Structure 1
């Protein structure tokens, strides 16, 4: 890759949200597309635009992780000009047209990946980014765990089939659009069933004594469902999404990448931040059947619909933690910084998404001192 050189005066001309350049170790980066995603908020970058951030990234108080340092390299655009760089800059200018033509040809011939993709070094990566990744990752074997936790800023294609690929992706608004009407309908159904006054619960499995369940119990059953979902959310994230597949098992590695590994590899792929409705519907049906067996009738339905609402809230919060800009000091601001730490430094800790509650009893909370100093 030919080097391009910039004077400090040129760098200082790019100090806005729309065009934001920074310098780190005499290398120039255009971080305009990253500003909104920064866990510390937009202003923390904008205030440092046009200048060297080496000391800020090294800390204290905010020492950035090795993954954060690596992530920065994706926005590299050139070097800060030094003595003797003029000749190299002129050489770059002569080659600029040829490079542009070659890049254009590559984009035209590459119909698989998004033209906006950025990569650190695709020629030396362990996979071929011009092909679907799902069938490649299993061959990484013992290298998979380290590779999948080195995030990149580019979209991922999983399948060869355009139809299957489309089913594996979705826009964030499809989640509330599909599931909110279902939550409303089943909430109404459960409430009206309880309102009839015919719902009873056994007080003891050894007697025939029943406890009536009134319609006023619905809000509490609904909230119980949301609370139970928060536990399910934690357990799925920790034990399924973050299972460590054996290096020798191609199929488990492939399954892990499909379920969650692809999200850690490309945490800002907006089309894969929420669960697509098609596969989600299969999981919802399984949970519905389980609740119907364990707690039939309006009581079980009330708890189930609360859990379904909890899922919708979870997916929306997860999307916001990646793309939102919460106000500094707010609850969501803390969650965003906490979740970014999970992605970039503590992949084996911090499994709570909507809250850190379950991280405490399961002893997986990110240490507070590390969290404050390193994010």
Structure 2
């Protein structure tokens, strides 16, 4: 069966490329595994023998169309990438034509980063020794929070080589529960709190009627929204992407707890949002800081606006990882932008809900023009 040459945009490590383009620079890549689909059941039968040719893209697996397993070959190894299609940052249609084929030529024409190949090895059905070397530095069968500091000078390399597997931080089920946040918990908690501060502002802080004070209320609320975008950028850049000293047990552990675990397991839906308990503690500190910065007539509206800004940020962040926005919409652009940050430009693109402060501080990522839009 002849393989037609494709011109399909693909995104690897957040950088899209056209399959038939000549690429001189290193393009980044990302794969992911859905659940435990990369483990084979005992009755799984490979649709070809290991002696089959894998040069270029010239062979076809006899029963590739009939099986649910999306099997490919690369450098003589066999991969089942079934879990990749739905979440592939470059869109599901990019990979579908390659079911049953060798990827040697495609991946040679579109080079990939170390992180990309590391993730890709989660799909391999055999010969995992090289992939496992760095992941053997910790015991994945035990809680890992107190293990990461032992990595010392290997920590930064390890945390930036993403995996798609469950992460357990604590042995205690109670403590572990405090670190897991389903998306719907965020609006359940923060909308009532934001409305409460807005109500207090309307009933106690303004001397005139709400109608007459509306311009003042809108300005204060908008200040809160704007301040959140600055906090989002500043915390992400200065705190979450702080490289801890290799000899600091405390700072390595803190970095992993705050943000490192998200870069290590970017597809963990339970850890995409900030847990409520530390979020409320941080909000309390921020509230006291606001009392020093703003007059009483403004403060509750500013707080309310900041909380709504945070709510939007957290839900947008979740959607950028798991949603499928339509082409050329705002969230479509931000999804591409955030993929670049995660898998290629770690020290750029710190805005998640907005690019505003990336423009201001010179950390903007320029997105590649695509021949056609990505379909997630």
Q: Aligning the two structures, in what range does the TM-score lie when normalised by the shorter sequence?
A: 0.7 to 0.9
Of the structure 1 ranges 289-298 and 266-275, higher mean CA displacement relative to structure 2 is found in 289-298
Q: What is residue 176 of structure 2 aligned with on the other side? A: 165
Q: Which has the larger radius of gyration?
A: 1
* Alpha-carbon distance in structure 2 between the residues aligned to 1:237 and 1:69: 26
Whether 2:79 is the aligned partner of 1:29: answer yes
Aligned CA-pair RMSD: 3.0
**Would you say the 8 A contact 1:22–1:49 is kept in 2?**
yes
* Alpha-carbon distance in structure 2 between the residues aligned to 1:50 and 1:329: 32
Structure 1 184/127 Cα, relative in aligned 2: closer, same or farther at 3 Å?
Answer: same
Whether 2:96 is the aligned partner of 1:49: answer no
SS at match of 1:29: strand
Structure 1 290/138 Cα, relative in aligned 2: closer, same or farther at 3 Å?
Answer: same
Q: What is residue 293 of structure 2 aligned with on the other side? A: 294
* Alpha-carbon distance in structure 2 between the residues aligned to 1:189 and 1:260: 34
TM-score, scaled relative to structure 2: 0.75
Q: What is residue 120 of structure 2 aligned with on the other side? A: 72
Q: What is residue 357 of structure 2 aligned with on the other side? A: 358
Of the structure 1 ranges 172-181 and 26-35, higher mean CA displacement relative to structure 2 is found in 26-35
* Alpha-carbon distance in structure 2 between the residues aligned to 1:328 and 1:175: 27
Of the structure 1 ranges 292-301 and 255-264, higher mean CA displacement relative to structure 2 is found in 292-301
Q: What is residue 121 of structure 1 aligned with on the other side? A: 132
Structure 1 254/172 Cα, relative in aligned 2: closer, same or farther at 3 Å?
Answer: same
What per-residue deviation string (whole Å, max 9, x for no partner) do you get for residues 6-27 of structure 1? 331233334xxx7544443454
* Alpha-carbon distance in structure 2 between the residues aligned to 1:40 and 1:240: 29
Structure 1 59/231 Cα, relative in aligned 2: closer, same or farther at 3 Å?
Answer: farther
* Alpha-carbon distance in structure 2 between the residues aligned to 1:46 and 1:156: 29
What per-residue deviation string (whole Å, max 9, x for no partner) do you get for residues 328-372 of structure 1? 332222222221222222222221111222122222223545999
SS at match of 1:11: coil
Structure 1 48/222 Cα, relative in aligned 2: closer, same or farther at 3 Å?
Answer: farther
SS at match of 1:9: coil
Whether 2:328 is the aligned partner of 1:319: answer no
Q: What is residue 12 of structure 1 aligned with on the other side? A: 65
Structure 1 13/29 Cα, relative in aligned 2: closer, same or farther at 3 Å?
Answer: farther
**1:263 offset after TM fit, Å?**
0.9
* Alpha-carbon distance in structure 2 between the residues aligned to 1:191 and 1:342: 40
What per-residue deviation string (whole Å, max 9, x for no partner) do you get for residues 97-123 of structure 1? xxxxxxxxxxxxxxxxxxxxxx95279
**Would you say the 8 A contact 1:172–1:319 is kept in 2?**
yes
SS at match of 2:125: strand
Structure 2 matches for 1:139-218, cutoff 5 A?
139-193=150-204, 196-197=207-208, 214-218=213-217
**1:69 offset after TM fit, Å?**
2.4
SS at match of 2:189: helix
What per-residue deviation string (whole Å, max 9, x for no partner) do you get for residues 262-316 of structure 1? 1111111111110111111111111111112321423111111111111011111
Unmatched tracts of structure 1, length 5 or more: 80-118, 200-212
- Structure 1 residue ranges (4+ consecutive) displaced by more than 6 angstroms after TM superposition: 1-4
**1:73 offset after TM fit, Å?**
1.4
Structure 1 295/236 Cα, relative in aligned 2: closer, same or farther at 3 Å?
Answer: same
**Aligned pairs, how many?**
316
**1:45 offset after TM fit, Å?**
2.8
**1:58 offset after TM fit, Å?**
4.3
